[in-house]
Amino acid sequence: MKPYGDCIYCGGEVRERSERVDYRFHGQLFILENVPTGVCNQCGEKYFTAEIAKQMEDAVRCIEAPVSTIAVPVIRIPGHDTVCAGQDSA
Ligand SMILES: [Zn+2]
């Protein structure tokens, strides 16, 4: 029994992997580790079973202590006139 079926975008085969997943809940971003995720082997689209989706929601709803906290940069894509000067490697 295939829990995911084929990719709805490209028809590729979707296989389950343990993934790190970005998850937004009430405007806050969480990163969930070791999530069983169906990943398309052609386009990389991710799928979750209803059970896993529920578990992810429960995990962020009942969060007590995160494993770790990281800072996430929020950026905008550059306009056409913007030239990337690169970053100084001090
Ligand atoms: Zn696909």
Instruction: Look up the pTM and report it.
Output: 0.72
11-15, 61-65, 82-86, range with the lowest pLDDT:
82-86
Hey, what long-range contacts does 45-54 have (CB within 8 A, 24 or more apart)?
A: 45/7, 45/8, 45/9, 45/10, 45/14, 46/19, 46/21, 47/4, 47/7, 47/14, 49/3, 49/4
CA 6 – ligand 1 centroid, Å: 8
Return the CATH number of the domain spanning residue range 1-70.
3.10.20.860
pLDDT at 55: 95
Give the environment of ion ligand 1: residues with CB less than 5 A.
7, 9-10, 12, 40, 42-43, 45
Reply yes or no on whether the pLDDT at 90 is more than 60. no
